[in-house]
Amino acid sequence: MIDPMLLHHAEEDFVLTDDWVLELKYDGVRAILDTTGQVKVLYTRRGHEIHDQFPEIDAPPGLVLDGEIVGFDGEFHKLNWVQRRLGVKGADKILERSKKFPITFVAFDILGIVDPQHDFRSLEFSKRRSMLEALSDEITVSPVYPASNIDTMWDYVRKNNLEGLVAKRKDSKYVQGTRTYNWRKIKHSKPEYRSDS
């Protein structure tokens, strides 16, 4: 079982350079999806197995993906849709809730494949992203944007009342169970951008 890599809040003086990329911060439930075994496994950052509650979440066999379970109502993220699905028991009840509160697993990192020799956590984020994007026809992948798009992204977050942005260093390794300054939550104020080219 993998403990997800965690984020630090961006300080008020945090500066974005071209070494960073941006993602939307989804208002959902963080989860790891593992399809390397005979049975798909989906578990929360606390290690709770929840695939029974979300049977529609799937991916090609042989992958370990980090992502977010999100309820989408158009452009809006409905955390309460995800919450209404958690803890539900019984196949009929689960099916009923899945129709009423549809969710999507949005993958934002790939951590490995079947062969234990292929553990991608030591690779740079930009390389892991390339591998993840190669799967975009089969799974929902969170888009990334260059740091220079901060004004447009910040306007979009404010307009749609989203939770914020996540900034990730292109060269960051995946450090299991660690809160790292290489991934930052941007929630309260737009950071300054400085081109380093």
Q: Does position 28 have pLDDT exceeding 90, yes or no?
A: yes
Residue 186 resides in a domain:
yes
137: three-class secondary structure by DSSP: coil
CATH number at residue 41: 3.30.470.30
Bridge partners for 107 per DSSP: 67, 141
End-to-end CA distance of the chain: 40
What Rg value do the Cα atoms of the chain yield, rounded?
17
Which domain, by its residues, includes 46?
A: 6-193
Whole-structure pTM over 0.85, yes or no? yes
For residue range 39-96, list pLDDT tens digits in order: 899 999 988 999 999 999 999 998 999 999 999 887 778 889 999 999 899 999 999 9
Residue 52 resides in a domain:
yes
For residue range 133-169, list pLDDT tens digits in order: 999 999 999 999 999 999 999 999 999 888 899 999 9
**Domain count within the chain:** 1
Q: Are 1 and 177 in contact (CB under 8 A)?
A: no
Residue 127: phi and psi, rounded to 5, are -75, -40
Q: Which of 67, 56, 58 is nearest to 26 (CA)?
A: 67
Give the whole-angstrom CA distance, residue 162 versus residue 7. Answer: 17
Q: Does position 12 have pLDDT exceeding 90, yes or no?
A: no
Residue 1 resides in a domain:
no
Residue 91 resides in a domain:
yes
pLDDT of residue 197: 63
Give the whole-angstrom CA distance, residue 133 versus residue 143. Answer: 9
User: Where do we find the tokens 């390397």?
Assistant: 36
70: three-class secondary structure by DSSP: strand
